[in-house]
Structure 1
Amino acid sequence: MAVLKVIEVLSSSTVSWEDATKKAVSQATKTLKNIRSVYVQEQSASVKNGQVDEFRVNLKLTFEIE
């Protein structure tokens, strides 16, 4: 039986929400093993001078504990 843990991660990107999600998973894999899934809980963006300048995501990462 596998034991799974869920953590919350925040990430941002100047490109897109998808890019912010990929960056979060890429960074998390540096210290976490066996990541099973990512759930995008919330999306937001910051606006500067009338333009979206940063995409932000609040994620839940699920990984297996060894």
Structure 2
Amino acid sequence: MAIIKVIEVLANSEKSWEDATRNAVKQASKSVKNIRSAYVADQSVVVKDNDVTEFRVNLKISFEVK
């Protein structure tokens, strides 16, 4: 029987939500092993002078505990 743990991670990117998601998983994988999935729970942007300057994601990352 596998035990799965879920952590919440926030990340950002100047390019896109997809890039922010990749950044979050890449950074989390430095200290968390056996990542199985990432669920994008929320997305938002920062707007300055009527232009989107930053994409933000709130992820739930699940991984197997050994």
TM-score (structure 2 length as normaliser) = 0.99
Partner of 1:47 in structure 2? 47
Write the distance in 2 (CA, Å) between the matches of 1:5 and 1:40.
16
| Number of aligned residue pairs | 66
1:12 maps to what in 2? 12
1:3 aligns to what?
3
Following superposition, the deviation at residue 6 of structure 1 comes to 0.3
Q: How many Å separate the matches in 2 of 1:48 and 1:2?
A: 45
In structure 1, the partner of 2:64 is: 64
Q: CA deviation at 1:28?
A: 0.4
1:7 & 1:30 partners in 2: Cα distance? 14
Letter in 2 for 1:20: A
C-alpha displacement of 1:65? 0.4
Query: Which residue number in structure 2 is paired with residue 36 of structure 1?
Result: 36
CA distance in 2, matches of 1:50, 1:44: 15
Which runs of no fewer than 5 residues in structure 2 stay unpaired? none
Percent of aligned pairs with the same residue? Answer: 62
Residue ranges of structure 1 left out of the alignment (5+ in a row): none
**Which secondary structure does the structure 1 equivalent of 2:61 belong to?**
strand
Q: 1:44 Cα deviation (Å)?
A: 0.2
